[in-house]
Amino acid sequence: MLAEHYLTIKSAHVGLVMLSGSLFFLRGIAVLCGLRWAMHASVRYTSYLIDTGLLTAALMLLGILRLNPFTQPWLLVKLGLLVAYIVCGSYALKRAPTPVGKAVAFTAALACFVTIYLVARGAWGVRAW
């Protein structure tokens, strides 16, 4: 049964969060510094692989805990912030036409990431798992 692996899946989820956030941070700094490696295919595909694992672990946790993100306010907040993080991250790394736009989008994406973390940790009185 999947529930027997809860701690392993949760640990993988937390580890993948840290990997994903760290790689995004490094890529964002590199893009702002004009370094080409940040957008190299191997780096992008590594990011996709990490994020796919992260999403898979999150969905497994939702299934194990029988949580519906649309009935749990803290999960709904995290989901909305995740969408904002993805959009801001896309502008920070590629879509913003100017360096200032990339910097603003990068800052906004990092703010979303930190807020997602704080919500998950229950910083605003909302307890996550």
Return the percentage of the chain with pLDDT > 90, whole number. 91
In the prediction, which pLDDT does 1 show?
A: 85
Tens of pLDDT along 31-89?
Answer: 999 999 999 999 999 999 999 999 999 999 999 999 999 999 999 999 999 999 999 99
Of 82, 84, 103, nearest to 34 by C-alpha is 103
In 66-128, which residue ranges form alpha helices assigned H by DSSP? 73-90, 99-120
Tens of pLDDT along 79-123?
Answer: 999 999 999 999 999 999 999 999 999 999 999 999 999 999 986
Contacts with 119 (C-beta within 8 Å, 6 or more apart), sequence order: 74, 77, 78, 81, 126, 128
Contacts with 82 (C-beta within 8 Å, 6 or more apart), sequence order: 112, 116
